[in-house]
Amino acid sequence: MLYHLLYPLHKTISAFNVFRYITFRTIYASLTAFLICFILGPWVIKKMSHLQIGQYIREDGPETHHKKAGTPTMGGTLIIFSVIISTLLWTNLTNRYVWIVLMVTAGYGCIGFIDDYLMQIKKQNKGLTGRNKFLLQSMIAIITGGLVYLNPDFSTQVTFPFFKNISPDLKWGYILFAAFVIIGTSNAVNITDGLDGLAIGPFIIASSAYMVFAYVAGHIRIANYLQIQYVAGSGEIAIFCGALAGSGLGFLWFNTYPAQIFMGDVGSLALGGAIGTVAVITKQEILLVLVGGLFVIETLSVIFQVGFFKVTNGRRIFKMAPLHHHFELKGWPEPKVIVRFWIIAIALALLSMSTLKLR
């Protein structure tokens, strides 16, 4: 909005010329989202406590989690609010990709809100059934895949990191591929969000990496130089990624160990859906395996655990899945698990950045 209000005035007030620059608006979108979370955080924590929206802890979890019972949750409402406000303030609102990512963020946030509401407020232990959750996620993801597919400028080719000349064109099949990326990422972040700051830390790292990818993909000269796909208009998504990272930092202030609030499914599903959609729009879908490598590792640990459990009639690979619980049960203190997982996330994100040159 500020872009539309202030940039046109740059002829009279030359300082307003700065609003044309995506870098400037990305920085301030990040700071705006951070400040909204930082300032409203205490009020949200108090509100959730007052409404008795406290975390229900399953019996079969690690012993160390039982002291967490009653921790305010659904802090994802604050994350989503700060991301949407900051994005509306700082982006070019005529950009269709901005509205697509906002639609997914809000839509997946609603799915998570319903799940949290049923679980935490209605005390229905399971929340939304896995099937209903998947159906709602699929609806939004397929609509999103369709919207990018119908954009004439959007390529349905899939690019592979390190292998420049492998880029199969999926044509209409891209809609299902995009949906798979969005749904998969949303559920991966959801599974990872099981320790204080464990999901939001790597999420900040991933959204910072995609801030760079969105900027270079939207800059025709840089995209050509780096030999990555040029996506006209994706530069504005860098501003959205800035808001994601800033909001994540603001939430981490309260979610760091010992957490004063959890994000809830309203946060984890929304954030995962948002970053998955950004990966689709910036044409860095496969790279998400690296950028969001920690989310992939956590999800694979569950897939292998459940698969092995079924095949061997009850034997386990890990002490407990997802992987963070395995290290907890090995005796690692929670902060040690969290920071070491962050270190792995940073290393994977740096490796993903190197693919911009290594092709």
Q: Given the rule CB under 6 A, which residues bind ligand 57M?
A: 55, 57-58, 60-61, 65, 68, 73, 190-191, 193-196, 255, 259, 262-265, 268, 302, 305-306, 309, 316, 320-322, 325
The least distance separating ligand 57M from the CB of residue 286, rounded to whole angstroms, comes to: 24
The least distance separating ligand 57M from the CB of residue 321, rounded to whole angstroms, comes to: 4
CA separation (Å) from 237 to 7, 75, 79, 160, 282?
19, 24, 17, 21, 8
Region class of 74: left (phi > 0), else alpha (psi between -120 and 50), else beta: left
108 and 140 Cβ atoms separated by less than 8 Å? yes
Buried b (16+ CB within 10 A) or exposed e, 252-281: bebbeeebbbbbbbbbbbbbbbbbbbbbbb
Q: Choose between 24 and 309: whose C-beta lies nearer to ligand 57M.
A: 309
Distance CA 282, CA 311 (A): 39
Instruction: Please report how many Cα atoms fall inside a 13 Å half-sphere around the Cα of residue 52, on the Cβ side.
Output: 3
The least distance separating ligand 57M from the CB of residue 152, rounded to whole angstroms, comes to: 38
Q: Choose between 195 and 228: whose C-beta lies nearer to ligand 57M.
A: 195
The least distance separating ligand 57M from the CB of residue 55, rounded to whole angstroms, comes to: 5
In the numeric block, which tokens belong to residue 305?
């655990």
φ and ψ at residue 169, rounded to 5 degrees? -95, 115
The least distance separating ligand 57M from the CB of residue 195, rounded to whole angstroms, comes to: 5
β-sheet bridge partners, residue 157: 169
Q: Choose between 60 and 153: whose C-beta lies nearer to ligand 57M.
A: 60
In the numeric block, which tokens belong to residue 249?
């930092």
The least distance separating ligand 57M from the CB of residue 312, rounded to whole angstroms, comes to: 12
Q: Choose between 76 and 235: whose C-beta lies nearer to ligand 57M.
A: 76
Residue whose C-beta lies closest to ligand 57M = 61
Q: Choose between 40 and 143: whose C-beta lies nearer to ligand 57M.
A: 40
The least distance separating ligand 57M from the CB of residue 142, rounded to whole angstroms, comes to: 23
277 and 206 Cβ atoms separated by less than 8 Å? no
- Asked if residue 62 has a cis previous peptide bond (ω within 30° of 0), the answer is no
Give me the DSSP letters along 258-300: SPS---HHHHHHHHHHHHHHHHHHTT-STTHHHHTHHHHHHHH
The least distance separating ligand 57M from the CB of residue 309, rounded to whole angstroms, comes to: 5
Q: Choose between 96 and 310: whose C-beta lies nearer to ligand 57M.
A: 310
Q: Choose between 40 and 353: whose C-beta lies nearer to ligand 57M.
A: 40
Q: Choose between 3 and 108: whose C-beta lies nearer to ligand 57M.
A: 108
